[in-house]
Amino acid sequence: MCSTAPLTAMIGPSVLNADLSDLANESQRLLDSGADYLHLDVMDGHFVPNITFGHPVVACLRNKVVGTMLDMHMMVAKPGQWVEPMAGAGADQFTFHIEATEEPGVLCRKIKEAGMKVGVGVKPGTKVETVVEWCDQGLVDMVLVMTVEPGFGGQKFMTDMMPKVRLMRDKYPLLNIQVDGGVGPSTIDMCAQAGANMIVSGTAVVKAEDPGKVMTSLREAVAKCL
């Protein structure tokens, strides 16, 4: 078992969908609206075609949102090289993609030794069983099941990813399981019923007229299934 703590429903807006020229204020707006954590998408132009931001931006944001969980989604080709910089910037959780390393166990240990929680992500085309070995060793705090192809926003939610979530929830009742991609009011029930408890939502929350209302509805949908 990876954890003995009870599961909670957590909603993490993806700040990439916010006004990045005003990132601190946008982040605070989302936190004031009820966000449980902030999801930061780091893209390097190699693992995925797009480029976003890196640890210098995270360090600046850390100083503005003290005490907030910063969940780093590292869509990068060489995640190991960014562990220390992200830890130094104040990141709380470092989620790498299983496809980006040949030594997941070594990387998990490196992240833990740097003082961060370990997240492991799987792309739509990757079997979620690839993370089981590391979960069984107690090295993983969260598994991220991508419900779109990483690297681009605005994609349609992939309902056929839900069996991955269900498999992991059945195997690990107390593991944090995150879904990311196309998640909003119209898809949250599928995620919740499959067993996800950490919800990343971009446009559906960040661009909403009332982000707090949307996050409350997402959280309640998840809580009913825990």
Between the CA of residue 188 and those of 4, 9, 64, what are the distances in Å?
25, 12, 30
* 180 has catalytic annotation: yes
Which is catalytic among the residues 41, 44, 92, 141? 41
41 is catalytic: yes
> Of 44, 71, 141, 180, which residue is the catalytic one?
180
Query: Would you please indicate which residues are annotated as catalytic (active-site) residues?
Result: 41, 180
